[in-house]
A = this chain, B = another copy of it.
């Protein structure tokens, strides 16, 4: 664990994308390959057992591995060497069959797919948990008035639950993408030196099928060494998810500003505080989530830029993926975990929401007032009256209702009480609740 793992990482993903897991997943490939080849009759059963028995990351000397990788150009070559030495001690015959017919990239890419499968599980679970929390939050605040802001300026009234339903709606799409990815986005990599499995003669495909079964990974139509779209799809999907988490975090941070005060991250001793500034509640989680979202574009760009790989094995481009995709997983899951914490304990200051609605002295109700007047004077005239009234209220620092009550064009049709009712924030949120219901309905359908 590095110093900043506590800040940016997550325990679950630290496990799936640790150096240990990286090595273990490559060893899982080697063990499964030996078993598959024994099943098909390419290598002796005893050799497969001997090989599989040694495929434990605990047996590997990591420092030596790191050193040797620097010369070999990848981890698989020195890993196979270490494994061979281990097996040789017990069974020199079996040692000859290690990695039989495979190439380094087979072990590395398949290992990556196994890590990704674990990582995606954690991320899917986190997303599900987040959806539950958001659904509950949206429902709870389906009638909590607040002001909607566009260009960071007050616009018109809305409800807090509508904002949350928007967050949830995005998560629904990400959940669907994660499901599609888990179902169709992973694949075995097994092609030997140049993809043709030539070293296995006419039994390459049979071994491939057995190997795919062993590892429970889909067998692709053909090996995909230099075709990296699968890897990109994983990274891109997680990056998009992180972007949406960043949007939630940005909203939380904006609504937590001292002047706004509508939301606050859950308080906890030692988090985001300042001993001399007790009024401060720094949005630490939001900042970390935003940092993850800031870093995704560059990481995905690296992977996209590495797509055109040379012939049957890439040069630097393939290597450029090795630390980049794990970083995407790490940052994404760290951000996801923090979003769950934020939403779970989010402080919602409904009083401040109501108070802020009044900051512009009724101007955010101008649209609602025009609508109330329209049936009486026509839409165009209603619009004109409100324009003038709003302008006059703003100039005179009066409440818009005060101006309307004094305007005979309005009072000819609406009583003072009717005018006051216009400024009820509960009365002018349009389809907000029905939109919330639509999203919650989707949530329920998905969850079952």
- In the docked arrangement, what's the CA distance between A70 and B291, Å? 13
B195 lies within 8 A of A148 (CB): yes
Instruction: Please state if A19 and B3 are interface contacts (CB–CB under 8 Å).
Output: yes
In the complex, which residue of chain B has the Cβ closest to the Cβ of A198?
Answer: B430
Q: Please, which residues of chain B bring their CB within 8 A of the CB of A322?
A: 4
Query: How many copies of this protein are present in the complex?
Result: 4
Which of A113-121, A245-253, A343-351, A404-412 interfaces with chain B?
A245-253
Closest to A167 in B: B227
Q: B196 to A430, Cβ gap below 8 A?
A: yes
A150: B residues at CB distance < 8 A: 103, 193-194, 280, 282, 311-313
A195 neighbours in B (Cβ, 8 Å): 148, 158, 162, 166, 432, 435
- A93: chain B residues within 8 A (beta carbon): 380
Query: Is the CB–CB distance between B284 and A430 below 8 Å?
Result: no
Please report which residues of chain A, range 216-248, place their CB below 8 angstroms from some CB of chain B when the two chains form the complex. Answer: 220-224, 226-230, 232-233, 236, 239-240, 243-244, 246-247
Tell me whether A144 is interfacial, beta carbon within 8 Å. Answer: no
Checking B228, B240, B434 against A233 with a beta-carbon cut-off of 8 angstroms, the contacting residue is B240
Taking each of A75, A204, A257, which has the highest tally of chain B beta carbons within 10 Å of its own beta carbon? Answer: A257
Instruction: Check A153 for interface membership: any CB of B closer than 8 A.
Output: yes
Q: From A48-56, A123-131, A265-273, A414-422, give the one contacting chain B.
A: A265-273
> What's the Cα separation between A173 and B230 when bound, in Å?
9
**Residues of A271-321 contacting chain B, CB below 8 A:** 271-272, 275-284, 286-302, 304-313, 315-317, 319-320
Q: Which residues of B contact A154 (CB under 8 A)?
A: 258, 277, 279-280
Please, which residues of chain B bring their CB within 8 A of the CB of A368?
A: 198
User: Which of chain B's residues have a CB closer than 8 A to the CB of A259?
Assistant: 257, 259-260, 356, 359
Which residues of A in the span 157-203 have a Cβ within 8 Å of any Cβ on B? 157-158, 162-163, 165-167, 169-170, 172-174, 177, 180, 192-202
Select one of B149, B230, B276, B316 contacting A366, CB under 8 A: B276
Alpha-carbon distance between A197 and B162 when the two chains are bound, in angstroms: 12
Do A316 and B290 touch across chains, with their CB atoms under 8 A apart? yes
Q: Which residue of B lies closest to A154 (CB)?
A: B258
B222 touches A438 (CB 8 A): yes
Tell yes or no: A323 within 8 A of B by CB.
Answer: yes
Closest chain B residue to A151, Cβ basis: B282
Residue contact B148 to A194, C-beta cutoff 8 Å: yes
- CB under 8 Å from chain B, chain A span 105-149: 147-149
- The answer to the question of A90 belonging to the interface, with a C-beta cut-off of 8 Å to chain B, is no
* CA distance in complex: A299, B294 (Å): 11
Q: Which chain B residue shows the least CB distance to A184? A: B176
Given contacts A72-B284, A153-B280, A276-B390, contact A294 B306 (CB under 8 A): yes
In the assembled complex, which residues on chain B have CB atoms less than 8 Å from the CB atom of A197?
Answer: 430-431
Tell me the bound Cα distance from A204 to B441 in angstroms.
Answer: 19
Give bound CA distance, A386 to B275, whole Å.
9
Query: Is A13 in the interface zone, CB < 8 Å from B?
Result: no
- Alpha-carbon distance A387/B278, docked complex (angstroms): 8
Whether A224 pairs with B170 at a CB distance below 8 angstroms is: yes
A-B contact pairs, 6 of them (CB 8 A): A148-B311, A149-B258, A154-B279, A275-B383, A294-B317, A298-B324
Nearest 6 A/B pairs, CB to CB: A290-B316, A243-B307, A148-B194, A150-B313, A198-B430, A298-B298
